């Protein structure tokens, strides 16, 4: 699981509330651009931000609102996933600069025996874009070792 989101911290929950409050009157592209800079703020995250924004342009406002509602519905499932360990070996590949989501993944990996975490240095949330060669190498190694 690259750049996994298992729990929303205080900052991300506040962002979700702000988005929920503004989604009906702010253009969705404004929201996407702001979110991309908050989640991926560093210079080395530029490619990931650009990809995020480029893909967002393919949506319409109504699709964005549907997507956002879906993210709100998945929050209880994330809680269940954190609490109940699955026995399937799971690899989490996270960037060390993923300040919003890495701490919760670290906590889950400590309590889930079948979970493994590899933190990739100088990398943000979208590890499969920023460090794609390392991401692919580690993913393939994990699958071969199963």
Q: What is the pLDDT of residue 86?
A: 87
pLDDT, tens digit, 9 for 90 and up, residues 12-71: 889 989 998 998 899 999 999 999 999 999 999 999 999 999 999 998 888 888 888 888
Confirm whether pTM is higher than 0.95: no
Structure tokens at 40: 């991926």
Distance CA 135, CA 31 (A): 28
Does the residue 137 lie in any domain?
A: yes
In whole angstroms, how far apart are CA 80 and each of 7, 114, 129?
Answer: 11, 16, 28
Distance CA 39, CA 24 (A): 22
Does the residue 1 lie in any domain?
A: no
pLDDT, tens digit, 9 for 90 and up, residues 55-112: 999 988 888 888 888 887 888 888 888 999 988 999 999 999 999 999 999 999 999 9
Distance CA 41, CA 35 (A): 9
Does the residue 18 lie in any domain?
A: yes
Does the residue 120 lie in any domain?
A: yes
Domain range holding 68? 10-145
Total tally of structural domains belonging to the chain: 1
H helices within the chain, ranges in order? Answer: 10-22, 28-39, 46-56, 61-83, 102-111, 127-130, 132-145
Q: What is the pLDDT of residue 2?
A: 96
């Amino acid at each position: 699981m690259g750049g996994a989101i298992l729990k929303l911290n205080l900052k991300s929950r506040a962002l979700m509330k702000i988005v929920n409050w503004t989604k009906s009157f702010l253009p969705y592209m404004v929201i996407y651009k702001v979110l991309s800079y908050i989640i991926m703020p560093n210079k080395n995250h530029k490619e990931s931000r650009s990809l995020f924004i480029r893909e967002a342009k393919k949506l319409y406002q109504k699709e964005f609102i549907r997507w956002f509602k879906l993210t709100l519905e998945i929050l209880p499932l994330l809680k269940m996933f954190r609490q109940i360990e699955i026995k399937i070996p799971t690899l989490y590949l996270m960037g060390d600069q993923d300040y919003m989501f890495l701490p919760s993944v670290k906590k889950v990996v400590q309590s889930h025996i079948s979970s493994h975490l590899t933190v990739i240095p100088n990398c943000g949330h979208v590890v499969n874009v920023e460090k794609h060669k390392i991401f692919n190498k580690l993913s393939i190694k994990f699958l071969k070792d199963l």
